[in-house]
Structure 1
Amino acid sequence: MTEFTPLLSFFGGTLIGLSAVLLMAFHGRIAGMTGIITGLIPPGATDWAWRVAFLAGAIVAPIIVVALTGQAVAFESPVPTPWLVVGGVIVGAGVFFGSGCTSGHGVCGIARLSPRSIAATAMFMATAIGTVFVIRNVLGGF
């Protein structure tokens, strides 16, 4: 089971929301990771610099937290690697057909009251709930 960390979760969520608001305020852009990464190709586009800075912050921030606190988030998956790869491919297809990722739809789209984002996020959540139920209760869990 996952450890319950309401205070850390609150601060993490606050920082994610703040970064989304600041990106919209200063650049008029949505903080969806898929769109940010897609905009990096080709390099040198007019808005390339903020995209690199945003992604660098997403990579460097956890490193800073570990350096300051000395605590890393332990990650181990009981799921075999081939299943993780299959899951990644399925998520990638969903991002393509859903016109965005969970961060874009869930954080930014819902905040803008976008009907498409609300529907997409409801579908993400329903699928996640159904998947966990099937894996844990039908297939015997991992």
Structure 2
Amino acid sequence: MRPAIGDSETAAVLVIVDGELYVMGSNGLTSTIYHPLAFKPSKKIKELIEHGIDFRHVAADMLQTYAGDRLFLLVGEDQVSLVAEKLLSQSAHWQGLLPVQRNFVYRMHAKWNYDDSITLERLLNVLPCVMGNSNSIHRISSRS
């Protein structure tokens, strides 16, 4: 992943499931993107990881605290999550985030938020495609 990102770029993984917003700490997709050859966690997410916190429920007004240079937004396909995503994306809190303004938000299905070996192997093929697309907002199915 290194050629596509800078040496000190940070990233955050946000997940919307059952209409609730979470920031990921030391579990799921973060086990891939916080690899030594990939992104670094933002300062606040690094604190979560150091305390062994897998994820934390957050409100939209707290996103600025956790956001990195890039955001990975994983969304469940249930109707409640899709509505929550739409409301979030229209909010001033979301629009004020630097990665949103820079078009560095990568949207994926919430099913990618696992850290089993099969998912991790598949992510190695999927993530370069996600990040390489100039549109930046993606709907990546769970079966790529």
- Does the TM-score normalized on the shorter chain lie above 0.5? no
Normalised to the residue count of structure 2, the TM-score between the two structures is: 0.28
Larger Rg computed on CA atoms: 1
Bigger relative contact order, structure 1 or 2 (CA pairs below 8 A, ≥6 apart): 2
Structure whose residues are more often strand by fraction: 2
Normalised to the residue count of structure 1, the TM-score between the two structures is: 0.29
Structure whose residues are more often helix by fraction: 1
